[in-house]
Amino acid sequence: MPPYVVKEKCDGCKGKEEPLCEQICIGDLMTLDEKTNKAYCRSLRDCWDCMCCTKICPKGAIEQRIPYQLGYHGARLIPMVGPDSITWTCIDINGKIERFSFRTRNKK
Amino acid sequence: MLLSPNDAQSCLKCGKCTSGCDINRLDPSFIPHRLIHLVTMGMVADSISEYSIWKCSTCFTCSERCPQRIKVTEILWMLKEKAFKEGKSPDFVSKQSEIIKTHAKLFPISDKDNARRQKAGLPVIEEYPDGLANLRQILGDK
Amino acid sequence: MNAKPNIKVFVCSCNGIIENVLSVQDLTGGVQDAGLEALSHPFLCSQEGIRYINENTDADTKVLIAACSPFHKQSEFSNLRTNKFLIHRIDIRDQCAFVHKNKPDEAFKKAQTLIKMGVEKVRFSNSIDQFSSDITKTIAVIGGGIAGINTAIFANDAGLKALIIEKSPYLGGKVKELFTYFPRMCPPACGLELFFNRLRHNRISALTLTELISLEGNPGNFELTYKRYPRYIDENKCTVCGLCIQECPNQAIYLPNHLCYPSIPLLDRQSCLNECMRCSEICPTNAINLNENESFDKLNAGAIVVATGWDSFKPDKLSEYGYKVIDRVFTNLEFEKKIKELTDKKTTVAFIQCVGSRDDKNLPYCSDVCCMVSIKQALSLKTLNHDNEVYIFYNDIRTPGEYELFYKRARKEGIHFIKGIPSEVKETTNGEINLSVYDTVLNKRIDIKADLVVLATGMMVSDGTLNLKQVLDKNLNFNENGFVVSHLQCYPQDSLREGIYSAGACRGPMDVASSINSASSSVISALSFINKKINQYRDFPNINKEKCDVCKRCIEECPHNAYLFDTKGFPYADENKCRRCGICMGSCPVGAISIGSLNIEQLSSMIDVIDVGIFGDDEPLVLAFLCQNDAYRAVDDISKYGGNYEPNILTIPIPCAGAVNGLIVAKAISSGIDGVIVGGCEDAQCHFSKGSSLAQERIKSIRDKLTEMFLEPERVSFFHIPRDGSNIFLNQTKNFLRVLRDMGRNPLRII
């Protein structure tokens, strides 16, 4: 399920060209709408759900749903990134919440 | 009411309104800055019982020249309106309003006037009943 | 594997005051258990204490001092031999031992945690060396009026070079046109001549007929481009012999004033009609070149003083006063010239005060000088002929301080002061000027016939200032009336940028005395800036290029426009523009930016060492990032008032609320800390203009994220804590902790 950009939160990374999601996307799918100055995914069906864009977005403006092979509607996976840590919040289709915190290999 | 006494609050008491007032020149009892000062002091009740508020000719010179943009004429208007509502207006005001209500004009044409007009070759002006009805409608009188 | 880190912890017992609540021995013992060296001293800020630290450290030792607030005793601790950036101070007194007196156990735990965090902070600190940059020891003064002249003189006296850039052909500005100075009633020529003599010094150069057209470079090394209008007469060659003045058939060459600087004649090219070239032929020194053109040139300056002065308000808009309609109605500045032409024939002169000033449609402010000017002119008229009748129509006479005595002198001289402003100036059919005014004291209308009417017009922003607005744009702050103002009460001479100052009436209406005062204050600021620039720390932001994604957010969010691109396309902060606020550090989505005194590594490892369950499994633990300009100091003050709060709050001072990175807050929540507070100034009071509002924006996105994660967004809060906001902090944290207790512990906390 492709990324969904919350237009109210996205600020186009202020720099006007190449927002962070565009730089991080392995498939080069995210890009900036020049008119609205908001990011969007230009080819939804090519997205692999790697969630890089969701993790990097400083405004928390990109949401991603879990693909149907893994969980049905209602299931969600939300990352929160720290300097050297990541916390995942997993919500299954019954609304059960589980959280995991990990150290990442990022230098602090 | 479009204005409130607060609109006069920035008055400098410089007297420029009175200096330029043509009514004051003829009748020294009409002192606009004094009335404005009464309003800023919250003494609206005192100001509306003054007869001099009715002397303003609404030429707007004071409003035009006030360095603090105080709408002097409009404030006097407000006072007059308040005075009328509280029944403190002089007799001529209610008489005038009666004349307007009955004739739809402040200066009704008398037969004498029409005779003079005929002499001068002008058409006779008649009472205009539709106008009266329209006016009543506007004023909300049943 | 790892060599033992060169970290030393010094714990102060503050003459037993800290010892009363916390056991210093146990604190040092705890640090020693962790394998670090810890020492204690009863009185670290004393001379022996400082010596004790110096004896036990060398220049590379990372020093942690656990004592009073880092904002106390700063001068004492500046005598340490270790590099300033390797020393970190944590507060176990004001924000621990004092405020948690009643709970010694918790206070001890808090102190222990603070020391652990402090150790991590010094572990990741780096020493930063000083450097000196080349400073052009020149002050460029824009405007050659009384303020500009005095700025140049003061700069010269202070040993700096000064360059005056003046648009008109001569120095002296408006003052040159004046008849007398108040209150001593002496001619300005006398004072100006002395000033001009002091200007003739080899460190001062005055460029007349020049205009600034662009500004480049940095504070300390500005590069100014200016346009030079043709003068046609060479300043260096002209000997003022006067031959050309006599020869010119059109009177196009003349000396406008007996007191000219530079003292050479003026050649008015517009009046020069027939191009007879007689002047250039007759000139014995060949100083005249009628074919001279405009030229452009550059100059360097370390600091700039803006002294573009004022213009007189033009009363054309106030048509009721008959200005330019009746030929005997003047403005006060015109009257300064007119008064010289008056004879001792008896005249009646009426002055109308507040023309254009204190007027919502024109100048909403009081122009400061007009009352004194009118009184001065009135007195001059009385000196000319004591029978002259002078009326001053006023609204309020404003003669502050000892100027009141001058006003009194005028009253004693028989000048009529009438409270009431005439509404119009009319010319009667027999040619007299009639003023009809309602005297608000007499409560009577009076009519006055006057021979001359003087409109006391105010001081407004000059064309020079308006032109400069386009050249200097973001460097200067203009208020709603167009005057150059930055921080009126505390730093009236400063602008938005270091190295640019203002003097004289471009700051607002002021008289000659205040202008000269303002000139000296601007020179003092410029001088201290130039001296400071010589020794500065290289503590401006450092960008980790391995992490940087070139998203340019830092460039956009920097409130001082300090960021530029280097040759490889990475951003870097211009050391001259950077004010070390750390807002870029907070803005970076990947945490690649660190500033000298604080970096992400430090904050991150400080969070790592916090034992979240220290006060009990169900007791909340709060981390408070407080702006060290206002909020942290307000919290410091709590102990002075004998207040107390719960020990569950761990405070960390930061340069600005805007320096808190979202990643750090996320990490704090992830590692089980129950609540995070960011404390900053009121939006309008932020010392770095945008920091506080940016911090709130970031907090809002984290709260959104928490909501999404089904965590309570209230766990992260922004508090406005002004400098005197100790009570605000107490109340807000009380509520905050209550809310946290109601919510229960952070689900991410591992027990």
Comparing alpha-carbon positions, the chain B residue that sits nearest to C421 is: B16
Residues of A in contact with C605 (CB under 8 A): 108
Distance (Å) from the alpha carbon of C421 to chain B's nearest alpha carbon: 5
Helices (H), ranges, C541-640: 553-557, 583-587, 600-608, 631-637
Interface test with A, best of C606, C664, C667, C669 (most A CBs within 10 A): C667
Whether complex ipTM tops 0.85: yes
Choose between C721 and C690: higher pLDDT: C721
Q: Looking at chain C, which residue has its C-alpha nearest residue B17?
A: C423
How close C694 gets to chain A, by Cα (Å)? 12
For chain B positions 5-24, those within 8 Å of chain C (CB to CB) are: 10, 12-21, 24
Inform me whether the C-beta atom of residue B95 falls under 8 Å from chain C C-beta atoms.
no
CA-CA distance, A15 to C36, in Å (whole number)?
A: 45
Q: Nearest by CB to C422, which of B19, B61, B67? A: B19
Instruction: Answer whether A85 sits within 8 Å of C667, measured CB to CB.
Output: yes
Which positions 408-447 of C are in contact with B (Cβ < 8 Å)?
Answer: 419-424, 436-440, 443-445
pLDDT tens digit sequence for C321-374 = 999 999 999 999 999 999 988 988 999 999 999 999 999 889 999 999 999 999
Say what the pLDDT of residue C162 is: 95
Q: State CA B82 to chain mean position distance.
A: 12
C387 interfacial to chain B (CB closer than 8 Å):
no
pLDDT of residue A16: 66
Please check the confidence at residue C78 and state whether its pLDDT lies above 60.
yes
Q: C interface mutation test: which of B9, B16, B21 has the most C CBs within 10 A?
A: B16
Q: Does residue C3 carry a pLDDT above 90?
A: no
Q: Is A85 on the interface with C (CB under 8 A)?
A: yes
C365 touches chain B (CB under 8 A): no
Q: Which of residues 29-58 of A touch C (CB under 8 A)?
A: 56-58
Does A have 3 or more CB contacts under 8 Å with C? Answer: yes
- Flag whether pLDDT at C156 surpasses 60: yes
pLDDT for the residue B45:
86
Q: Are C493 and C485 in contact (CB under 8 A)?
A: no
CB C63 within 8 A of CB C80: yes
Is B40 touching C (CB cutoff 8 A)? no
Percentage of chain C beyond pLDDT 70 is: 99
Instruction: Check pLDDT > 90 for residue C155.
Output: yes
Amino acid B69 reads R
CB–CB contacts below 8 A, B to C:
68
Closest Cβ–Cβ partner in A14, A20, A107 for C549: A20
Residue C701, chain A, CB below 8 Å: the answer is: yes
> Given the structure tokens 């060290």, which residue do they identify?
C628
In tens, the pLDDT along C635-665 reads: 988 988 888 898 999 999 999 999 999 999 9
Q: Is residue A48 annotated as part of the catalytic site, yes or no? A: yes
Amino acid identity for residue C430 in this structure: N
Furthest CA-CA distance within chain A:
41
Mean predicted confidence (pLDDT) in C690-700: 91
Residues C290-312 pLDDT 10s: 888 899 999 999 999 999 999 99
- Give B91: exposed, middle or buried? Use CB within 10 Å, 0-12, 13-18, 19+: exposed
Predicted confidence (pLDDT) at residue A108 exceeds the cutoff of 70: no
Residue A19 and residue A32: Cα distance in Å, rounded?
A: 7
B19 and C443 in contact by Cβ < 8 A? Answer: no
Tell me the shortest Cα–Cα distance from B70 to chain C, in angstroms. Answer: 10
pLDDT digit string, tens, across residues C160-169? 999 999 999 9
Given this model, what pLDDT does residue A4 score? 87
Interface B:A, ≥3 CB–CB pairs < 8 Å:
no
**Going by beta carbons, is chain B in contact with chain C, meaning 3 or more pairs sit under 8 Å apart?**
yes
Cα(C678)–Cα(C733) distance, integer angstroms? 11
Asked if C705 lies within 8 A of A60 by C-beta distance, the reply is: yes
The pLDDT value given to residue C480: 86
**pLDDT, average across residues C126-153:** 89
Chain B residues within an 8 Å CB radius of C358? 12, 67-68
Band (C458; pLDDT cuts 50, 70, 90): very high
**C chain contacts of residue A84, beta-carbon cutoff 8 Å:** 604, 667
Q: What is the pLDDT of residues B22-76, one digit of tens each?
A: 999 999 999 999 999 998 888 888 888 889 999 999 999 999 999 998 999 999 9
* Residue type at position C687: H
Q: Cα(C547)–Cα(C742) distance, rounded to whole angstroms? A: 40
Residue type, C240: V
Cβ–Cβ of C422/B21 closer than 8 Å? no
pLDDT band per the 50, 70, 90 thresholds, residue C1? very low
Poorest-pLDDT segment among C186-190, C582-586, C730-734: C186-190
Average pLDDT over residues C193-216: 91
Q: Which of A15, A36, A48, A106 is catalytic?
A: A48
- Determine, for residues B19 and C361 on separate chains, whether the beta-carbon distance falls below 8 Å: no
Q: Which of A58, A87, A108 is closest, CB to CB, to C605?
A: A108
* Number of other residues whose CB lies within 10 A of the CB of residue C366: 17
Inter-chain residue contact B18 with C440, CB threshold 8 Å:
yes
Mean pLDDT within B103-110: 81
Question: How high is the mean pLDDT of chain C?
Answer: 89
Rounded to a whole number of angstroms, the distance from the CA of B29 to the nearest CA of chain C is 10
- Rounded to whole angstroms, the Cα distance separating B71 from B36 reads 10
Structure tokens at C610: 């916090």
C214 touches chain B (CB under 8 A): no
Please check whether residue C600 touches A, CB under 8 A: yes
Distance from CA of B28 to the nearest CA of C (A): 7
Residue in chain C lying closest to A85 (CA): C667
Whether B89 has its CB under 8 Å from any CB of chain C: the answer is no
CA distances from A4 to A44, B97, C379 (A): 10, 70, 79
CA distance C577 to chain A (A): 20
- Nearest Cα residue to A2 out of A61, A57, A43: A43
Reference C233, options C292, C320, C300; nearest CA is C292
In the predicted model, what is the mean pLDDT of residues A81-100? 89
Q: C678: which strand partners?
A: C625, C718
Q: With a cut of 70, say whether residue C423 has pLDDT above it.
A: yes
